[in-house]
Amino acid sequence: EPSTTPYEALGGEEVLSTLIDTFYDYVAKHPLLSDIFPIDLTETAYKQKLFMTQFLGGPPLYTEEFGHPMLRARHLPFPITKEHAEAWLTCMQQALEDVGVNPVVCDYMMERLTLTAHHMVNQPNNTP
Ligand code: HEM
pLDDT of residue 3: 79
Report residue 65 CA to chain centroid gap. Answer: 18
Taking 70 as the threshold, does the pLDDT of residue 128 lie above it? no
Which of 71, 80, 114, 126 maximizes ligand 1 atoms within 8 Å of its Cβ, making it the mutation to test the pocket?
71
Percent share of the chain, pLDDT over 70? 96
> What's the 2 CA to ligand 1 centre distance in angstroms?
31
Dist. CA 99–CA 91, nearest whole Å: 12
Q: How confident is the model over 7-19, as a mean pLDDT?
A: 98
pLDDT of residue 126: 64
Domains of the chain and CATH, by start: 6-119 (1.10.490.10)
Contact by Cβ (8 Å): 62, 47: yes
Dist. CA 96–CA 105, nearest whole Å: 9
Residues 42-94 have pLDDT tens digits of 999 999 999 999 999 999 999 999 999 999 999 999 999 999 999 999 999 99
1 falls in which pLDDT band (50, 70, 90)? low
ipTM of the complex: 0.94
Q: How many residues does the chain have?
A: 128
